[in-house]
Amino acid sequence: MKPIKVGLLGIGTVGAGTFNVLQRNQEDIRRRAGRGIEITMVAARNLERAARIVGAGAGACQVVDDPFLVVDSPDVDIVVELIGGYDLPRELVLKAIANGKHVVTANKALLALHGNEIFAAAQEKGVMVAFEAAVAGGVPIIKALREGLTANRIESVAGIINGTTNFILSEMRDKGLDFAEVLKKAQELGYAEADPTFDIEGVDAAHKLMIMSSIAFGIPVQFDKAHVEGISTLQADDIRYAEQLGYRIKLLGITRRASVDGVEGIELRVHPTLIPATRLIANVEGAMNAVLVEADAVGSTLYYGKGAGSEPTASAVIADLVDVTRLATVDPYCRVPHLAFQPNQMTDVAILPMSEITTSYYLRVYVNDQIGVMADLTRILADAGISIDAVLQKGTHGDARTDIIMITHQTREKNVNAAIERIEALGSVVGKVIRIRLETLS
């Protein structure tokens, strides 16, 4: 059988890894796929660099600077999109689909914003769009959610899905350093981009979470409804206090089924989160990723590994290439649906507003150390229907002020918002209340 021909859009870190791994392991990949897989065209801005990567061992691989030459080539069967971003990749992917080509992409931002349009176009044209590499790099979480757990009703997905922020939080905890200092180190080591905004503000994690939520619950992608907070304002004091209370702080993406006043909905949120230090996911350190899935039949499953990097992500890209190669001749209606559920079986269950989610909270209040402060705080919380699970008081500022840290029992976010507003209005309170959500997980 003739080899399947692949056109590669972009040959940066992941593109180079994909090319190299495919070359190195081509015999094993051919045996698994049932036929050879060859990259025959590469589109790149830097033709000289691309030619060096492709080298003499690539046979008849053509290097071009116009990506539309790849998606329009009659000799390309699968287009692999590794450019990143929104507008140009959307145009290229839709053009490839219109030309009857299958698509593999690692572009989580593209799918989180334009996935509905792309999947609909692919369904109409009878081609596949594969995207294992878009979430958690080499960790096969998409396949697990979409295929491995297909017998289950999935209840929740919670994950450390951004290695940059996990590295920063691990360093802040281990070395007691401030955020800005650790971010600079992360940039020097190559864990953080020169412009790290998408990572440190939670946007990258939210893109990935939206994809997982759609697969887990059979809902359309709707990124604009996600609640997104990052770690840029997180303080070393809070990481230290959390540790003293038996918790660690991680940037989590959380999506779960929930019921508010008898109405079913889906939570979709990214934010710093306290997790009990005894939990496995709390001990995921450095730039590693981990995703915890709760499902009715199988219970809790944890997926762990490298969430980024050249060859870990290339592993996922090539796994998609093998899947597409195996299934290219299968009737489109017999293939695994893009978002796990058949397109006519997607649900319109609502994404819950953040004000309606229920969880526990870490609250840190910086106060003048005077009689009656604690009574004021507990009264305000009680008025809002919030009970306290633990209290820690720390006079660490060398003046007549102190930090009061409280862990609450579960309550709705809107109750905490109302209480915080009243607390900040107290004359004894200095500055803003620090609020970090808490999840026990499994």
Mean pLDDT by runs of 10 across the 442 residues of the chain is: 94 94 94 95 93 74 95 97 95 98 97 97 96 95 96 98 96 94 92 93 98 98 97 95 96 96 95 97 96 98 94 95 92 88 92 97 94 95 97 76 95 98 96 97 84
Is 2 an active-site residue? Answer: no
In this predicted structure, what is the pLDDT of residue 370? 86
Q: Are residues 279 and 194 in the same domain?
A: yes
In terms of DSSP H, where are the helices of 145-276? Answer: 163-175, 179-189, 197-200, 203-217, 236-244
Q: Give the helix/strand (H/E) hosting 66.
A: none
Domain presence at residue 115? yes
- Residue 353, CA distances (Å) to 133, 221, 361 in order: 29, 16, 17
In this predicted structure, what is the pLDDT of residue 414? 98
Q: Are residues 147 and 293 in the same domain?
A: yes
Q: Are residues 48 and 186 in the same domain?
A: no
Q: Are residues 50 and 190 in the same domain?
A: no
Residue 341 DSSP SS3: coil
- Residue 16, CA distances (Å) to 8, 9, 185 in order: 10, 11, 25
In this predicted structure, what is the pLDDT of residue 328? 86
Amino acid at 173: R
In this predicted structure, what is the pLDDT of residue 40? 95
Domain presence at residue 27? yes
Q: Are residues 147 and 116 in the same domain?
A: no
Q: Are residues 301 and 170 in the same domain?
A: yes
Please state, as a whole number, how many other Cβ atoms lie within 10 Å of the Cβ of residue 127. Answer: 22
Active-site residue (options: 101, 108, 143, 208)? 208
Q: Give the Cα separation of 45 and 305 in Å (integer).
A: 31
Domain presence at residue 328? no
Among 99, 130, 161, the domain boundary falls at 130
Q: Are residues 145 and 112 in the same domain?
A: no
CATH number at residue 32: 3.40.50.720
CATH number at residue 187: 3.30.360.10
Domain presence at residue 294? yes
- From the number of C-beta atoms within 10 Å of its C-beta (0-12, 13-18, 19+), residue 276 rates as middle
Q: Are residues 116 and 145 in the same domain?
A: no
Beta carbons of 415 and 385 less than 8 angstroms apart: yes
Range of the domain at 429: 357-438
**pTM score of the predicted model:** 0.95
Beta carbons of 346 and 156 less than 8 angstroms apart: no
Domain presence at residue 147? yes
In this predicted structure, what is the pLDDT of residue 329? 81
